[in-house]
Amino acid sequence: MDMHRLLSAFDPDSGPYVMATVIHTVGHAYRKRGSAMILGLDGTKTGSISPGCLETDLQERAPCVWDSGQAQIVGYNLQPEEDAVWGEALGCGGEIRILLEPVQGELRRQLLDAKKTLDGRRSVRFIRRRLEDGRIAYAAVHLPSAASGEPGILLEEKGGGDEMLTFDWHPQPRLLLFGAGDDSIPIARLAMQSGFAVTVADWRSGLCTPERYPGSQLMVGRPEEIASAFKLGVNDYVVVCSHQLERDRRMIELALAAGARYIGVMGSKKRIALLLGEERPSNVYAPIGCSIGAEGADEIAVSVAAELIAVHRGAENGGRKGAGADEAVRRLFGRGTKPENGAAEAFHEAAGWNAARSYGASCSIR
C-alpha cells in the first residue's frame, strides 16, 4: 500500500495511532525502505510492512510509543545464521529497522497536509529533520506537478549539522478503463486491489453502475467527453476494452494524444491490427496483459493487473538509490551500536539525538 492509499484509509481523528516506517533494510525484505503502516491502539492495522510476522510485535509496542510521545526504532534480524528465534521461524533472511512515531502534534498536521496535496494529484516530499536541540521537525513540501521524484531516501546536511530524511510520495496512479463489459469487472477489481484509482467509462449507462463496479468512479459518454472529463494526462493508465471498433480506435487516439503512460488494448492480433495498423508506440501494450497463458475473464484480468503493476513499478523504481541510502539512514537514525534483535531505541543522546519529547516543532524548507 503506497502512502496516498495509506493516508486515505485511516481517520486520524477516530483514535490514537502510531505510524511504522521501514527506514533500513539489508538483504531480503518483504517491503522496502519508505514502506509504512498505521497501528491503532485498539488493535486495528492499516497497511503492512511484513507478511504478518512483525506486525504483532509492533502492535504491542504502539501504546508505549503513544504514551511516551517519543519515537522509537526497532531492529529485527531475520537471518537464520544470526538469529535462531526470528530467522528459523520466519526464514525471511534479511534485516530491517522500523521507525515508530506517535501520530500527534506536528507529524499529524503534516500528514494531513500531505494527504490534501496528494488528493490534488500533486507529489509531496515528506521531510523529517533533526534539529540542533534534538527535536524532530516535520514538513510536507509540495513538489512541482511534473516532478516524478526519486522514491528512495535522500540525506541532505544543512549548516550546524542538521540532517534530513526525505521520502517522495506520489498520488495513486489513475486507471481509465474504457468499456464496461463483463470482462472488465475483474480488471477493475484487481486494479483497485493493486493500488490504482479506477474510473470505468462507457457510452452505455446501463453497464456503468455502482453495483457492477463498487469502489470505482463511473463516467458515461463518448470517448471525447470521457477524455476531457477525466483530464487524461501523461501519468495515466488506459485500458481499452469496449469491443466496439470505432469507439476503441477513438479512445486509443485520445490516449496517444495525451501521452498516457500505459495504453493497453484488449483483443486478438487481427483486431489490434485493425485498430493500430503496423505502428506500435512504446506506451501501447497490445495484446494486453503479461503472457501467462491466461484463459477466461478472471485469468486475463490477472495478466492485465500484473502488466499494470510491472509498468507502474518499473517507472517508479527508476533511479533508486543504492548502498548510499543505507549509510544515510544509519547516520540519521542512530549513531550508537546496533540494537539487539527485537530491541527498540528511543531518540536519545546515545544515538545522536536528544530526547525528542516535543513534536510541535516546525521548519521552513527552502
Residues 305-326, mean pLDDT to the nearest whole number: 67
Residue 356 pLDDT more than 50? no
pLDDT at 165: 82
CB neighbours of residue 341 within 10 Å: 17
pLDDT at 338: 54
Residue 133 pLDDT more than 60? yes
Residue 86 pLDDT more than 70? no
Least confident of 15-19, 54-58, 233-237, 323-327: 323-327
Residue 366 pLDDT more than 50? no
pLDDT at 343: 64
pLDDT at 345: 59
Residue 350 pLDDT more than 50? no
Determine whether 80 is exposed, middle or buried from the number of CB atoms within 10 Å of its CB (0-12, 13-18, 19+): middle
Residue 205 pLDDT more than 70? yes
* Percent of the residues in the chain that have a pLDDT greater than 70, as a whole number: 75
Which of 118-132, 184-198, 275-289 is the most confident on average?
Answer: 184-198
pLDDT greater at residue 333 or residue 14: 14
pLDDT at 270: 87
How many helices and strands (H and E) does the chain possess? 10, 16
Which of 2-11, 123-132, 249-258 is the most confident on average?
Answer: 249-258
Relative orientation angle of helices 269-276 and 245-258, to the nearest 10 degrees: 60
pLDDT at 94: 74
pLDDT at 54: 86
pLDDT at 175: 98
Least confident of 76-85, 144-153, 226-235: 144-153
DSSP 8-state secondary structure symbol assigned to residue 362? B
| 3-class secondary structure, 135 | coil
Domains detected in the chain: 3-152+320-351 (no CATH), 174-316 (3.40.50.720)
pLDDT at 221: 96
Residue 254 pLDDT more than 90? yes
For the stretch 21-74, pLDDT in tens is 998 888 766 777 888 999 999 998 988 888 777 888 999 999 999 999 888 889
Which residues, listed in sequence order, are joined to residue 74 by a DSSP beta bridge? Answer: 98, 344
Could you tell me the pLDDT band of residue 182, with boundaries at 50, 70 and 90? very high
Alpha helices by DSSP H, listed for 91-233, are: 105-119, 185-193, 223-230
Could you tell me the pLDDT band of residue 10, with boundaries at 50, 70 and 90? confident
155-158 LR contacts (CB < 8 Å, sep 24+): 155/325, 155/328, 155/329, 155/331, 155/332
CB neighbours of residue 13 within 10 Å: 7
Residue 297 pLDDT more than 80? yes
Strand order in the sheet with 136-142: 136-142, 124-130, 163-169, 153-157
Residue 203 pLDDT more than 50? yes
For the stretch 164-181, pLDDT in tens is 788 999 999 999 999 999
The mean pLDDT value of the chain amounts to 80
C-alpha cell at 315: 517507472
pLDDT at 323: 40
Determine whether 113 is exposed, middle or buried from the number of CB atoms within 10 Å of its CB (0-12, 13-18, 19+): middle
Residue 159 pLDDT more than 70? no
Residues 187-193, mean pLDDT to the nearest whole number: 96
Which of 87-91, 135-139, 211-215 is the most confident on average?
Answer: 211-215
